[in-house]
Amino acid sequence: MINEVYKSRKPLIIIFGYGFEDRTTALIRKLESIKSQKIILFEYAFSFGNQSSSLGKTRKWQQNKFIINEFFSYHSREFINISSSIRNPIDTILKMRDSISENNIDLSDYQILFDITSFPKITLLSVFSELISSNVNGILFYSEPKDYELPFSTGVKYFGLLPQFGKYYNPNRKRILIIILGFEGDRALAIWNNCDPDKTIALIGDPLYENIAWKGIAEKENELLLNSNNTEKDYISFIDPHRAMKKIEEIYKEYENENIIIALLGTKFSTIPIAYFIKDKPNIFIVYSAAAREAEHQTIGIGRSITCKFDAQNIRNIKME
């Protein structure tokens, strides 16, 4: 599917994030392997990242940044960096809007190639929600790792609420927490404690057969939360976003008159159906927590890639290779 970026009649914009994992440069390897005589592939290349973070000072982050900058400086007409921080997600979106305005870009005039692999989930949700509200279409790219290294992180330094989502909180109604669990039990428990929900629905990603070794890790890492009062556990597959959205919609319909709180601690790809689901639902709030300390090595190698087409309404044509 990546080959299709070369066939588009629209000019191309690429959006990607700096990162410290091997898989950060997976898309560049694919682009380099496609034979093309074009020097300029993209009209604009937008990079998101913040070197001031602890992981931004690691050797691997610096190496990946060099590889990314070298490639897109050569293959784009305009290379724009947006310094982003999950602690200030609104600032990230405002910077993105300013860059788009300053360059007189109408996103609907372009095809977007969005590499979500290295985006923090809160930044990813903010940026992708901005894109689909701008009536764009394009291709999403996500690289899985070959494996994970635990623990990802230790402790929690702060808890936050994304201000651009959720408008109507009713203190007389119950708080329903829908938490998509990953491998970071401390962060999940911090969210649960801060939200103090009346009911918790814990959703655990169901891995495909190829990733069967990952099954059971989320349950083990989140044992305390899963054994807490008023917590209901269920399984969900985000590789099929349409089924995922249908399942979450069923949960929402049961509690749609309550205050709904969603926390994203699963894979990056699990964020995509949530972005579509929360559109035009003013009683849904998005919360997050940040780790006190993140491990320098969280994943190993470059695994399968997932690509799909997207527009303002949904995603389609999902391929794994």
Percent of the chain with pLDDT strictly greater than 90: 46
> SS3 of 175, please?
strand
SS (H, E, C) 15-71: EEECCCCHHHHHHHHHHHHCCCCCCCCEEEEEEEECCCCCHHHCHHHHHHHHHHHHH
Give the CATH number of domain 153-294; options: 1.20.120, 3.30.1460, 1.10.20, 3.40.50. Answer: 3.40.50
- pLDDT score at 209: 54
- pLDDT score at 201: 97
Would you say domain 2-148+298-320 falls under CATH 3.40.50.11700?
yes
Cis, bond preceding 151 (omega within 30 deg of 0): yes
CA 16-21-27 angle, 5° bins? 40
Q: Is 159 exposed, middle or buried (0-12, 13-18, 19+ CB in 10 A)?
A: middle
* CA torsion through residues 274, 279, 280, 285, sign: positive
The yes-or-no verdict on residue 51 having pLDDT over 60 is no
Q: Where are the domains of the chain?
A: 2-148+298-320, 153-294
The closest alpha carbon to 71, from 41, 50, 97, 101, belongs to 41
The DSSP H or E segment spanning 275 is: helix 271-277
**pTM for the complete prediction?**
0.90
Question: Using an 8 Å Cβ cutoff, are 180 and 266 in contact?
Answer: yes
Count Cα neighbours of 162 within 13 Å in the Cβ-side half-sphere. Answer: 28
* pLDDT interval class at 53 (50, 70, 90): low
- pLDDT score at 39: 63
Q: What is the mean pLDDT of the chain?
A: 86
Question: Using an 8 Å Cβ cutoff, are 283 and 259 in contact?
Answer: yes
pLDDT tens, position by position, 220-232: 989 999 998 899 9
Q: Which residues does residue 293 pair with via DSSP β-bridges, in sequence order?
A: 154
* pLDDT interval class at 74 (50, 70, 90): confident
* pLDDT interval class at 6 (50, 70, 90): low
pLDDT tens, position by position, 278-296: 988 989 999 988 777 776 6
* pLDDT interval class at 36 (50, 70, 90): low
Structure tokens at 156: 């929690």
The closest alpha carbon to 307, from 111, 138, 185, belongs to 138
DSSP letter for 295, please.
-
Same topology between domain 2-148+298-320 and domain 153-294: yes
The yes-or-no verdict on residue 161 having pLDDT over 60 is yes
